[in-house]
Amino acid sequence: MHDQSYRKFGPKDADDHSIGEVCPACRVAFVEGDFTTLVALGPGADSESRKRARQGRAYNAIAVQVHYACATGDET
């Protein structure tokens, strides 16, 4: 069970800039109609964001887009 809450985006329009990009979780390209979410990876290389993360404070996270089902298992 995950402890992160995921916001569901979509469905994707045919002209969405990410159509054709590959989902890093399942290696299937994003297509029109897909629902996606962002998975936060952490503070990245930014020293201020790293400091804030260590302190348990809010920071701007580096994130990747994946299919919503890839992050949650929810296929609806």
Give strand pairing partners of 29: 22
pLDDT tens, 4-42?
Answer: 789 999 999 999 999 999 999 999 999 999 999 999 999
- Local confidence band at 3 (pLDDT 50, 70, 90 cut-offs): low
What pLDDT does residue 22 have? 98
Token pair in block for residue 23 = 């989902």
Q: Is this model's pTM higher than 0.85 or not? A: no
Q: What domains, with CATH codes, occur in the chain? A: 1-76 (3.30.1740)
Q: Provide, for the chain, the percentages of residues in helix, strand and coil under a 3-state DSSP scheme, each rounded to the nearest 5.
A: 15, 20, 60
Note the pLDDT of residue 27.
98
Contact status, residue 23 vs residue 68, Cβ threshold 8 Å = no
pLDDT exceeds 90 at position 45: yes
| pLDDT for the residue 26 | 98
